[in-house]
Structure 1
C-alpha cells in the first residue's frame, strides 16, 4: 500500500524550455537590431557590444568565485544582460565606462540580491540609468557613420521634436538616425519581437498595454492632437520598442499574473508619457520601466487570482449578505 502513495517531489510537470534555451532565444531575437547597430554606427558599436558582454560574464564568474557559489554563466543570462546594456549605450561611449556599467549591472543589481530570479529591477536598465547619472555627457553624445565618415550629433529625433524641428519618420523606422546602438531601427526590433512571440518566450500583454497606453497618453497630452506622423515618430523614437518587447517583458522583474502584466504595461506607458511630455529629458523609457519594476510586488499582491474553490465560497458569502 505504501507504494500507492509514493509521489516524486515537485514539479510533476516539467517544461522543455530551460533558462539557457530561453536566453538563447532572446540573443537570437536581438541579432537583427545588433547587426543593424553595427552597420549603422561602425566598428565602435561592435567593440562596445563585445566589451560589455565580456564584462558582464566576467563579473558574474568572479562574484560567484569569491562567494563560493555554483557558476551560473552557462545559463547565458549574463550574456543577455551585457547585450541589452550595450544596445542601450551610444556607440561613442568610452569602453571603460561600458565595463563599469557591466560590473554594476551584474554585481550590484543582480548578484547582491541573490542572482537570477532575485533582482528587483532589470539589470541592464539599472546599469544604464547609473551610467546616465555618472557619465551624463558621454551617455548623451551620439554619432552615426555615413559613407564611412563618422558624423557626431547630440540631437536624437526625440530631442529634435521637442525643439520643434521636423523629423523623417521613415528614417526612424529603418534606423538612419542618431541614438543608442540598438534603439534606432524599429523594423529590426519588431523582427526580433515577432521571433520571441512565435517561440512562446513572451506574450503581447505587456508590450501591447505599454504601447497602447503610451499612444493614448501622447494623443491626449502630447500637444499635437491626432497627428499621425508625430505619434508614429514618438513610437519609433528612443527606446520605446526595445524596452516594450525586450526589457519590460523580463520574467524576473515583471508580474506573473495576466492582469498584473496588463497593469504593469499601463504603468510603463503612463510613466514614459509623463517623462517625455513633462520631464527634462526627451526620453524616459529606462526610468519608466525600473520604476514600474519596483511596483511589481504591489501589483501582484492585488492581482493574484482566487485559489480553486474559493470563488464559489466567496459567492456564497456574498449571497448570504
Structure 2
C-alpha cells in the first residue's frame, strides 16, 4: 500500500507501529541508533520479533542516527518514501536536565534532517511525535491544541515545541503535509524501562520500595500502546489540507492532535492497578514533586475524534494487567 519510514524503529512505539503497518501490507524501513539511554537488549529483542514477522519480507532495518546528515540524505535519496513517521527522539523529561546536548542532536538537528529529506524527496505526509509536555504548567484542563504552549518547563518539552514550529515552517514554505501528535504518557508491554509503570512493577515484584512523588496526587492521561498505534495509523491515512491561519495569512497543510485517553488517572490509582496485577502491595518512599514535572496532564481529543473517528479507550486496569503479564513472561 505504501512505503513508510519509521524512525525510532527499534523503540517502543516504533516497534508496535511497524507490526501493524506490516500486518496491513505496507513496506516499512525502520531506522534507529540503538543507543543505551535504556537497556539496548529490549531494542534488539523488538527487532528480532520484527525479523520473524509473517510479513518480514516487507521490512528492512538500518542502524542510523538522525543527526547523521549525510546518512539521512542518502537514505531518502535511495528509498523514496511515501510516508515518514518520525518517532526517533531523545526521550525523557528528567534526563534532559543533565544531558541537554543529546536532545539538541536528536530532536533538533535530527528533525531538520528529516524535514530536509521529506522536502527533497517529495514525501506525501510527515507524521511526527510531539508530546503533552509542551503544555508545561498550563492550568486550563483539559489541554487543547488551541491552547498557548509558549512556556515549556523542560528542554525536552522545548524541543518538541520546536518540532511543531519547524514542521509548520516546512509545510508553509514547501507544501509538505505534516501532522504532529502530542502523546500523553504512553505505556504497555515492551515499553521503556525508565517509565514509572515499568520501575514500579519491577520494584513491587522484587519487594523493593518505590518513589512516590507529590504524595501520589499527580494525575496523568495514561494512554495504552494499542490506542496510540491506532491513532497514528488513522492520522497517517488522513493527509492535512492546506489551511490559512486564523491569526496570520500563513497557509500550510499542517495539523497537530492530542492522543490521550482523555481520562486522567491519579498516581494513587495507577499504583493500585499495578499492585492488583502483581498481587503484592507496594512499599513507598513519599517525595516532593521533581523539577520539570507537572501536576496533571489531560487531553482534549475532540479534533482527533472528529477527523478520524477514533478515540483511545483502554482503561488503566486493563492496560497495566497486560503489561504485568508481559513483564512476568519476559523477565521470567
TM-score, normalised to structure 2, is 0.29
Higher-strand-fraction structure: 2
Q: Which of these two proteins has the greater Rg computed from alpha carbons?
A: 1
Higher-helix-fraction structure: 1
